[in-house]
Structure 1
Amino acid sequence: MVVVSSDSGSPLWSCSVWDLHGGASLLSYRGSPSSARGLTVLRDGFVLSAQPGKNFISAWELHRKEPLQQKIMCPSVVTCLTASHDGFFLAAGVSESVYLWEVCSGKLLSVLSRHYQEVTCVAFTDDSSHVVTGGKDNMALVWSLSSVVQVDAGSAPDPRHVLARHSLPIADLHCGMMGAQARVATASLDQTVKVWELSSGELLLSVLFDTEILSVTFDPCEYFLFCGGSDGNIFQVSLCTQNTSRDKSFQSDVEGNQLFRGHNDHVTCLSVSLDGTLLLSGSHDETVRVWDVQSKQCVRCIQHKGHVTNAFIMTAPANMFIPDSRPITALPRFSRQLTSEGAEPGEVCVRPTVQSQEEEETYLEKCDRLNLLMNAVTDRLLFTDGDSKVRVTELEEEVKTLKKVNKDLFDFSSQLLTKHSHT
């Protein structure tokens, strides 16, 4: 696992890659700084970055430090950027609109123009079936890709749901797992974080804080909600309480709620490791911190040269640290206009990349894998050193017993075979 981060004060590089557990710097990509929520990694092998106040997106191959000559030009300033988990789609907030491209062809599939003010954040569900956008108009919109990826440029697609319960701009949003059945968390300057059911658009939970909330994320099993405040605190909200009230105020040390203290300025980025044990945070205090979720202690602090604009944990792609490796497919030239060339009216032409031939995990397989990870972590946290030694001794005795049973079965089978051969 690696950390990808960027800040506003580095004139020579756009982002860096760090070792999550050791904190060592592994890679740096040269270029202008990345804007807030303007950094993403394509599964095909590219790093994409939107620069503050610029109307284009820069691209790097994973193993190269110099930016490519090609830039993705947009009609206005790029305010946020993200790629789908399967690497098929790229979405960018461009002023009040969201531009959606097909990565393998560079075709502009749709322009979503239902926000009334600047788009601040955009995120895909883990199965890439939906995209959620948030803006300064206090709204979050849920879009079904099957309805917005259309050839007919004359009709404007409508969002599946309009989440309009915030009273001030939305600063961040996060989509949980389970695809179309996921839960979505939205953080707002109105000092609330709201949790929604994506399939119905229903509001499930609203938590009021005593400060503006600038970042939000779930842990992988969605036991907790982590919220970054403008006062530097990180709030951990338990989602497994018995309280059935939909509206509540955050109270520390009540119902499993906890605080992470260490930053002294806005917490703008949050990310949780796949096993749920580590929390990553980025702040305007020019640090990225790694926290142990169980103890609430900061285990590592990575110093930056300016306000941290992006910080997230990801699994390092196989070719990230191989100098001679190249992306499986080249980055195409991205279109700036909606076109329907080569397609019949009413048809959608989506050309999958090479990775689409790989078998994807089903939801049940993902759940099983996450359950195994969480159980392993829980066991490690529950057992003290003494208990672990006792457990190891018991397991060793059990192995010896099983070996003896196996030997007895082998001897008995050998005797039967010998007896039959003599007869």
Structure 2
Amino acid sequence: MLTEHFVASIAAPTKPNTGVTKDAGVFLHEFQPLAAQRHVFKKSAAASNGLAVSSSHIFTAQDGKAVVHVYSREKGNQEAIVPFPERVHSIALACDDTVLLVGGESGRVMVWELCSGRLVSTSTSHLQPVTALVVDPTSNFFLSGSSDSMIHVWNLASILSFSPDSPRSPIHTLSTHRVPITGLACGHSSTTANIAVSVSEDKSAMVWDYHSGQLLRTYLLPEAATAVTLDPADRAFYVAYADGSLQTLSFYDEMQQSTPVDILRDGSQSHRPVQPPPTTRFNAESQKLGGVLSLSLSWDGTTLLSGHDSGKIASWDLAKNNFMATLTSLPGPVTNLQFLTPTGFPNAPAPKFRIHTVTKPRQDLSMPMSGNALVPPNYTWNVEFTGRISVPRISAIDEPEVRKSDFEEALTHASFPMSMLEESLAELESWGSKPTPTTTVAPAADFLSLSESTTAGKATAAPSSASASASDDVKALKKQLATLQRIQKATFSQLSSLREENTYLLNKERERARQVQKRGLSNGRGDADVDMDDAVTSSESDASSEEDEDTGSGDDGNRTD
């Protein structure tokens, strides 16, 4: 049976509630098929954007403290209290729930590997606390929003690298907002066409192509939005306001329906703000829900949950933009809501590994122990594999083939597809390219900068030198690729010629064997008789040649005499 749950957290108990366990701060509810509370976790006061849930654990950033509480979903209790060097304002999970991103008060993001305890810190690119974090579906990038109105795009693989030369500064800076960022949401696509949405206290919502740092569209809102969430199919996004109302902002509005061109990515339309019609806004004034602090969307995108400062959690029918019901009433403001992945699908893939115990951060694993080894010798990754490790299939009998990915097929093929190589080179080239005019990039934060500068002159020279170095590397890779392609073409041509020659020689040998066999059968004799006749014929021809020689020499003698 299909089952769907959601997790809610409150900032702090503000009113007595006899139906709630004392000191409860995190609540696990079943949404369908039976709406009911299933479990509670005590001693937690989570701040906004301070909740992260995996299949095995729940993480909550404590409001106004430098502490993250870790709860075990399997055991149903608190597993650890993890201190950090500064106050934590936001958290998010990445890399199949094995990495926790922690937004600090100083403006940096700390990356904590849950299975090893390694803690890596980014550069302090934000001027104020990091209030929002969101990870894209591939876990290659994540976005951070701050009270300084800036949004940074980071490369997670570069930050997790053990190389000391790996850059840990943002690759793009989105700085169109003018006041603090209140919410971030990332699309669900795994391609480079994925989008992100940001809302701010300046009464605006902006849609970004975060891979290139380009602003796609700006929406002018009637009030400052307090929360935002995206549709599962990225067709629209929903914002919430402090008066308890909600609003639907569809990408397929009247302007988009009137033209076959994708206006969302039309550069000529990006500078034109869009003001959504008032009919897209809806509320339930009779319910006295209070201001909305958090939003979460169901798996099928038909039901929206809203958490209010009154402690109520309301459900909304998005097809009709109507209030449906109040699911529960908690003893404090609902600062976070998160739907969990549904369970009960018939052929759902099982998780590859399980994390039983979270490893607390260790500062000695942040950098390599020696200059030669990239991985510290005391680095361990503690997980339990739930099934067999993926290995090539080896069998002496015919078995049905298992579908491989395009990359796996390319690895075992004689050559890589040109489209895959060109796409990879284009991505490498885009990393070192200059930002578009519509994007404002911080002067001291550029991707692929190989060293951090200490003076103002070096700070401006490092990005240009890094960009030139990246461009030279791409050109060198293209030359090597062209050389390998020429060698491959010549090799394939030689192999084809040798194959044709081999086929020709084999055919000639078969033809000679057939003729010898046919001649022996037509004479009605075996191989021995045929050989004897050949010998006799050879002897007679030798004797006749000797008589001719004798006769010729005698004639010569007579003429001489």
Determine if the TM-score, normalized by the shorter chain, exceeds 0.5.
yes
Alpha-carbon distance in 2 for matches of 1:173, 1:362 = 32
Q: Secondary structure at the match of 2:47?
A: coil
What secondary structure is seen at the aligned counterpart in 2 of 1:37?
Answer: strand
Give the deviation of 1:89 after TM superposition: 1.1
Question: 1:335 corresponds to which letter in structure 2?
Answer: R
Alpha-carbon distance in 1 for matches of 2:166, 2:295: 37
- Give 1:25's aligned amino acid: Q
2:238 matches 1:226 = yes
Q: In structure 2, do the counterparts of structure 1 residues 65 and 88 end up closer, same or farther at CA, with 3 Å as the change threshold?
A: closer
Picking from 75, 83, 94, the partner of 1:73 is 83
- Counterpart for residue 310 of structure 1: 336
Aligned equivalent of 1:128, options 122, 136, 139: 139
> Which 4+ runs in 1 deviate beyond 6 A?
none
Amino acid at match of 1:216: V
Once the 2 structures are TM-superposed, how far is the Cα of residue 348 of structure 1 from its aligned partner?
Answer: 6.7
Match of 2:8 among 5, 27, 31: 5
In the alignment, structure 1 residue 150 sits paired with structure 2 residue 173? no
Picking from 307, 326, 341, the partner of 1:282 is 307
Once the two structures are TM-superposed, the CA of residue 42 in structure 1 deviates from its matched residue by 2.5
Number of residue equivalences: 350
Partner of 1:331: 358
Aligned-residue offset at 1:161: 1.0
SS in 2 for 1:291: strand
| Whole-Å separation in 1 of the counterparts to 2:69 and 2:177 | 33
Pairwise CA distance, 1:207:
0.7
Q: Are the equivalent residues in 2 in contact too, given 1:55–1:75 (CA < 8 A)?
A: yes
Once superposed, what is the RMSD of the aligned Cα atoms? 2.9
Match of 2:8, SS state, is strand
Measured in 2, the distance between the counterparts of 1:75 and 1:362 equals 43
Distance in structure 1 (CA, Å) of the matches to 2:319 and 2:186: 23
Give a deviation string over 1:209-256, Cα, whole Å, max 9, x none.
Answer: 121111111110111110111221111011112424441112123xxx
Structure number with the bigger relative contact order (C-alpha 8 A, sep ≥ 6) is: 1
Name the residue aligned to 2:540. Answer: none
1: distance between equivalents of 2:307 and 2:295? 7
Alignment of 1:18-37 (within 5 A): 18-21=29-32, 22-37=34-49
- Consecutive unaligned residues of structure 1, counting only runs of 5 or more, are 319-325, 364-423
Cα pair distance change 1:273/1:92, threshold 3 Å: same
Change beyond 3 A, Cα 1:264–1:16: closer
The residue type equivalent to 2:333 in the other structure is H
Aligned counterparts, 1:217-256, within 5 A? 217-243=229-255, 244=263, 245-246=269-270, 247-253=273-279
Q: Distance in 2 between matches of 1:30 and 1:59?
A: 11
Structure 1 residue 208 corresponds to structure 2 residue 220: yes
Runs of 5+ unmatched residues, structure 2: 14-21, 256-262, 264-268, 345-352, 391-401, 407-561
Residues 136/346 of structure 1: CA separation in 2 closer, same or farther (3 Å cut):
farther
The offset of 1:99, in angstroms, is: 0.4
Question: Deviation per CA, 1:372-395, whole angstroms, max 9, x where unpaired?
Answer: xxxxxxxxxxxxxxxxxxxxxxxx
- Residue equivalent to 2:54: 42
Measured in 2, the distance between the counterparts of 1:355 and 1:105 equals 18
Question: Of residues 201, 205, 220 in structure 2, which corresponds to 1:189?
Answer: 201
1:264 CA displacement: 4.7
Whether contact under 8 Å (2:183, 2:228) holds in the other structure is yes
> Residue deviations 1:246-274, cap 9 Å, x none?
41112123xxx343445653322111112
Could you say if the C-alpha distance between residues 240 and 305 of structure 1 is closer, same or farther in structure 2, counting changes exceeding 3 Å? same
2:149 aligned residue (124, 138, 145): 138
**Aligned partner of 1:88 among 69, 82, 98:** 98
Matched residues in 2 for 1:83 and 1:148: separation? 15
Cα distance in 2 between the residues matched to 1:362 and 1:261: 48
Name the SS for the 2:77 alignment partner.
coil
Change (3 A) 1:219 1:313: same
Q: Deviations over 1:47-101 (max 9, x none)?
A: 1111112111111110333312x32210111111111161121101111211011
Single out whichever of 174-183 and 345-354 deviates more from structure 2.
Answer: 345-354
Pair 258,85 (structure 1): closer, same or farther in 2 beyond 3 Å = farther
Q: Distance in 2 between matches of 1:282 and 1:336?
A: 37
Aligned AA for 1:330? T
By percentage of residues, which structure has more strand?
A: 1
Letter in 2 for 1:169: P
Q: TM-score, normalised by structure 1?
A: 0.76
Amino acid at match of 2:8: S
- Larger-Rg structure: 2
